[in-house]
Amino acid sequence: MTRAELFAQIQKKSSFLCVGLDPDLAKIPARLRSEPDPIFSFCKAIIEETADYAVAYKPNIAFFEALGSKGWETLQKVQELIPRDIFTIADAKRGDIGNTSKLYAKAFFEQMDFDSVTVAPYMGEDSVSPFLEFADKWVVLLALTSNAGSLDFQLIKDETGRPLYQSVLEKSQEWGTPENLMYVVGATRGELIGEVRKVVPDNFFLVPGVGAQGGSLADVAKYGMNSHCGLLVNSSRGIIYASQGKDFAVAARSEAAKLQAEMAGLLARYL
């Protein structure tokens, strides 16, 4: 999917919602556990109920690969089920020496047809570039993550006072363009999102941390939105586990609808 197509979807749905698919057998409704593929049934119901409000889905690969070969089959079926006009993110956090990264890219872009994959920047240019060689596919590079441990490295300053996340942003601008490179920027980082936006004015951000992690959607839009919206805001547990009862899919729809309504207001205000 191109950047223009993604922006067109955002405008059409008045939404920049990414629904995170983190399906945990221990948390899905008990009645689904007797189905032949409980995780697929769960994801299918969530996708069917939230697709009106979502412009992206982000399956977190850990929740599938933890189930072994069956989990990979389920992931492929889930990816194929997502409507083609909705952006897909394989949240796999890959990155290795060049020839290995190339095969990770083939796995997510050719074996499966994801639009994008999350990649860690730690190993540098040759670990990221192989993912950028695929037409209309995207790298979503970890920049300023939402977790507490992000403080361990990402905010450490070099001798010029520049934090590490800023070096990641600046250096990676040499590798990709706003047409194929997004950044992970946590919603829990508040006004720091504005600092990231100053360094990379045109790139999309994938923003996890709204919902279960407590980040503010209003702050994300205030500090992060650009003229193409530039934001995909993810919520996983806040949507998919809105209810663990029989009404889980309807409850997920309702949570997605609430976020979309707030997003529509923010788009009207800042775009």
Residue (101 or 235) nearer to ligand LLZGTKA7, CB:
235
CA 257/CA 200 separation, integer angstroms: 30
d(CA 237, CA 243): 10
Angle subtended by helix axes 38-50 and 248-270, to nearest 10: 40
| 237 lies in the binding site for ligand LLZGTKA7 (CB under 6 A) | yes
Residue 204 identity (one-letter amino acid)? F
Residues within window 159-198 making contact with ligand LLZGTKA7, judged by CB under 6 A? 184, 186
Distance CA 169, CA 157 (A): 14
**146 counts as binding ligand LLZGTKA7 under rule CB under 6 A:** yes
Binding mask 49-88 for ligand LLZGTKA7 (x = CB under 6 A): -----------x----------------------------
Round to whole Å and give the CA distance between 225 and 271. 8
C-alpha torsion angle, residues 246, 248, 251, 252 (rounded to 10):
-160
Can residue 255 be called a binding residue for ligand LLZGTKA7 (CB under 6 A)?
no
Distance in Å, CB of 209 to ligand LLZGTKA7, minimum: 6
Give me the 19-38 binding string for ligand LLZGTKA7, x by CB under 6 A, dash otherwise.
-x-x----------------
Both tokens assigned to 262: 């707030």
Site residues for ligand LLZGTKA7, 101-130, by CB under 6 A, read none
Cβ of 147: how many Cβ atoms within 10 Å? 13
> What does the alpha-carbon distance between residue 260 and residue 17 come to, in Å, rounded to a whole number?
7
Binding residue count for ligand LLZGTKA7, defined by CB under 6 A? 19
Please identify which residue in 41, 79, 234, 260 interacts with ligand LLZGTKA7, judged by CB under 6 A.
234
Give least dist CB 99 to ligand LLZGTKA7, A.
Answer: 26
Name the minimum Å distance from CB 215 to ligand LLZGTKA7: 9
CA pair distance 267, 260, nearest whole angstrom? 10
- 143 and 114 Cβ atoms separated by less than 8 Å: no
**What is the phi/psi pair of residue 58, to 5°?**
-125, 90
**Contact call for residue 212 and ligand LLZGTKA7 (CB under 6 A):** yes
Give the CA angle between residues 176, 57, 256 to the nearest 5°. 130
Residue nearest to ligand LLZGTKA7 (CB): 145
* Least Cβ distance, residue 36 to ligand LLZGTKA7 (angstroms): 25
The answer to whether 25 and 35 have CB atoms below 8 angstroms apart is: no
Q: Is 27 a catalytic residue?
A: no
| Residue of 12, 70, 77, 93 with catalytic role | 93
Indicate which single residue of 130, 211, 224, 230 sits in contact with ligand LLZGTKA7 (rule: CB under 6 A).
211
Residue closest to 212 by CA, chosen among 237, 192, 233 = 237
**Contact positions toward ligand LLZGTKA7, by CB under 6 A?**
20, 22, 60, 91, 145-147, 184, 186, 208-209, 211-213, 234-238
